[in-house]
Structure 1
Amino acid sequence: MSETATMTEDARLAAIAELLRKADATPGAAAPIALGEHIVEAARVPKRHREALLKLTPMELTCVRFLGWGRSNSDIAALLLISENTVRVHLSNVARKLELDGMRELAALAGMLFYSAD
């Protein structure tokens, strides 16, 4: 990856982080939502996915959280002491339950939910 592409990617991530900070700090925003043991600012949770997100299993939510932090399937597997194939199955189930088009859409949603704005 070229230095220009890296700078562009860094600028894009900085802009996304700034948007997340603004959404999290919006006065009068709804109370945070508990997704299993994970607390997420309500502004980050798309309304069309709220009910389905609340029905995910704890392991599915944990896999999504690690995905949102930018972890690979093999990293997630090592952290959770499960196989990489099991991680793929959990993420596939999440994509199906949330009616997403695929892993890219799931990764984008996971990043929006769990990527730190700080």
Structure 2
Amino acid sequence: MSEAIEDERLAAIAELLRKADAMPGSAAPVAIGEHMVEAARVPKRHRETLLKLTPMELTCIRFLGWGRSNPDIATLLLISENTVRVHLSNVTRKLELDGMRELAALAGLLFYPAD
């Protein structure tokens, strides 16, 4: 996929997120650890489990949602790349997701900036 097409897809996703965040009657933001997320972005089936994740697991999925790679996350958090993989694997298991692609999609839904 070319970079221009990928940029267009990300812009379309950001626009959809902005619209969802601005929907009238949407509930107040939900605190997931120290992170505030619009309630419309948090799937109900994952809400309670997300609240039980460790601060490092939440930080890892937040960076994943921002589009960062495992080596980038490791550098930013001053941990090894293997430790990042372990944290993401633990989140995948705790949330009962099918794999890393599903985790990446959920992380993007939760934490991808809409503006």
TM-score (norm 1): 0.93
Provide Cα deviations, 1:18-48, integer angstroms capped at 9, x if missing partner: 1100110011111100010000000010111
Name the counterpart of 2:54: 57
Q: Percent identity?
A: 85
For structure 2, the 5+ residue unaligned runs are none
Quick one: distance in 2 between partners of 1:15 and 1:62? 25
Letter paired with 1:71: R
Is 1:6 the counterpart of 2:3 in the alignment?
yes
Q: Deviations over 1:33-75 (max 9, x none)?
A: 0010000000010111101101100000000000001111111
Match of 1:25 in 2: 22
Runs of at least 4 residues off by over 3 Å: none
**How far did 1:7 drift?**
2.6
Secondary structure of the equivalent of 2:49? Answer: helix
1:35 partnered with 2:29:
no
Q: CA RMSD in A?
A: 1.0
Where does structure 1 lack aligned partners over 5 or more consecutive residues? none
Aligned to 1:95: 92
Displacement of 1:9 after TM fit? Answer: 1.8
Number of residue pairs matched?
115
TM-score normalised according to structure 2 size: 0.96
